[in-house]
Amino acid sequence: MVRPVPMRSFQVEQLNVQVYASRAEMGEAAAFDVAERIRQLIREQKRVRIVFAAAPSQNEFLAALGVAPGIDWSRVEAFHMDEYLGLAEEAPQRFGHFLRTRLFERVKPGRVEYINGSATDAEAECERYARLLAECPVDIVCAGIGENGHMAFNDPPVADFNDPKVVKVVTLDEVCRMQQVHDGAFASIEEVPRQAISLTMPALMAAQRIYCIVPGPTKTVAVRKTLKDPISTACPATIMRRHPHAVLYLDRESAAQV
């Protein structure tokens, strides 16, 4: 795999930003970097722990990562960062289903831990998943940014940079729920669940490396705010500017205002 060359790259505080000519090149570049990091970590340690985002914005990245050469996926432990509450087990909109069909069935990680969105006790499920994450440090987070600047389901009303929890139940804001309609996952906002389980902002920021993949015209404003607004939960993704090893991958459309 030859790594695509960015049209431009720049730094905002500690955040490295790379802009690519197309969505495909953006996804390939992110996959190249993540694959390289996985291979390096496999040489250095017994297992690699990765948290994945599940959204159409990740499609090109996941497709490229799934065919990246030289990765011993049996030594990868995979997690995901959020899940709807209340959807049927077989619902295609479930994030576990998304990642299973787009990556996990192809590469077969040695361990996959799913958030149970059908749990009868959501708080207990949060605690269970938090214990799994606490077993060892998370090496890599593969993230996106929502139209409201959220990461995972940390929408502005519920995001907390000092959250004492690792995983929590959240109520989704209207912008977030409409994004699921824009993404084509649901036909109308009425169909979108109102609650979800999400890793918190500190849980995401605790990862050694963050690779954030954000394509498309619907993310233009969120990208501008992420890079130019004051760091605050009004745009949760702004906190990446304080992470020592985070990279933001953009395409021409999402970078239109930066």
Q: Which of 22, 13, 15 is nearest to 5 (CA)?
A: 22
3-state secondary structure of 209: strand
pLDDT at 124: 98
Q: What is d(CA 195, CA 230) in angstroms, rounded to the nearest whole number?
A: 28
Grouping H, G, I as helix, E, B as strand and the rest as coil, residue 73 is helix
Buried b (16+ CB within 10 A) or exposed e, 187-199: eeeeebbeebbbb
Local structure of 258: helix, strand or coil: coil
Q: What was the pLDDT predicted at 53?
A: 98
Is residue 35 within 8 A of residue 65, CB to CB? The reply is yes
Beta strands in the chain (DSSP E): 8-12, 15-20, 48-52, 76-80, 82-84, 111-113, 140-143, 167-171, 195-199, 209-214, 246-251
3 state SS of 38: helix
Tokens standing for residue 88 = 């049927």
All residue ranges of the chain with pLDDT < 70 are none
Over residues 78-130, the pLDDT tens digits come to 999 999 998 888 888 999 999 999 999 999 999 999 999 999 999 999 999 99
Which backbone phi and psi does 203 adopt, to 5 degrees? -65, -40
Burial 121-152 (b: 16+ CB within 10 A, else e): ebeebbeebbebbeeeebbbbbbbbbbbbbbb
| Residue 31 CB contacts under 8 Å (≥ 6 apart), including other chains | 1, 61, 62, 63, 64, 65, 68
Cα separation, 148 vs 176, whole angstroms = 7
CA distance 193 to 172: 8
Amino acid 108: pLDDT: 98
Is it true that domain 10-246 has CATH number 3.40.50.2000? Answer: no
Rg (CA), the chain: 17
| pTM as predicted | 0.96
Q: Which among 141, 155, 225, 218 is positioned nearest to 192, based on CA atoms?
A: 155
**Which pLDDT value is given to residue 175?**
87
In the chain, what are the domain boundaries?
10-246
